[in-house]
Structure formats: C-alpha cells, structure tokens
Amino acid sequence: MTDPTPTPPAGSAVGSAPLAGPSAVAARKQPPRGDGGLAARLRVTLLRTSRRLRAERSNAVSEAQGAVLGGLFNLGPQSPGALAEREHVSAPTMTRTIQTLMDLGMVTKAAHPEDKRQVIVSLTEAGEQHIIATRRRRDQWLSRRLASLTPAERQTLSDAEEIMRRIYTK
C-alpha cells in the first residue's frame, strides 16, 4: 500500500528550515509571474522614492507628527478621535502626539462648537508653515531630479503618474 501523503520534491523545504544557498537566492529573485516582475519593481522604486522624499522633512517633528499636521492641513480641524482613526493609532497615542505638537506650537485645542465635552485640534500658523516648507523642500528635490530628464522622459512620467493615481484610487 502506498502512503497518501505527497512526497516533497528533492531539495524542498517542507517541514524543515527554509532553503539556503545559491538556488534559494535565485528562487527568491525570480520575478512574479504574470506581470514580468513589474509589480515588484514598482513596489521597490515607489518605496525608495517615498523614503527619499520623507528624508526631506524637518527634524523638528517625527513622521507620525508630520502625518497629523498634514491631515489637519488637508482636511481642516478635527477631533483627537478622528485623527487617531485616520492615523490608525490608539486614543492615548494620539493624545501624546497632540500634546507634543502643542508644546512645539504647531497645533491648538479648542472646545468643539457643538459638543463642549469634546475638543477640536487645529493647525497654528507655525504648523501650517512647517507643512508648506516641507512640501516645498520635497517638490524642489524632485524637481531637481526631473530637470535632468529629457522632455520625452518627463512626459512618460506624467503619463505614469496618471496611471498610478488610477491604481491608488481603485
């Protein structure tokens, strides 16, 4: 009688440590099927570009604090609860973030106009200027890189940006 359990091919790692050595490295480097590796290449390029753009922020605030400032800049005053939900953090974490930003003079809290038990967080002039300056630095960094491209390459990137926006919004 034969064993109904399939036997893994020689060299496979079923039930043991992951493959090691040159063949394992080659297997990990294989592009995903179907798109010729485009998804993996785009992911890496977008992550690296995003990381480089984030490096153009001021060291005055952390990335998380910058995200809160950006949300307030784009969406206007919000409750701490709405900010916590938007940033996917707990209420106590958001309370600490807001307090730090208040200490830096970048946000203020005021009573909610309809529910006096709640507060609304708003940007100060300093917070707004921080966002504007950060965006300006990032745009300048990217503009310098784009300036070295040919007009045809810039048009290709413009077309790609439209496509990427469609992917993002789906």
Mean of pLDDT values over 9-33: 52
| Residue 14 burial (CB count, 10 A) | 8
- Report the pLDDT value the prediction gives residue 58, as an integer from 0 to 100: 74
Q: Where are the alpha helices (DSSP H) in 20-90?
A: 22-29, 38-54, 63-75, 80-87
Mean of pLDDT values over 36-49: 90
Q: Is the pTM of this model over 0.95?
A: no
* Average pLDDT value for the chain: 84
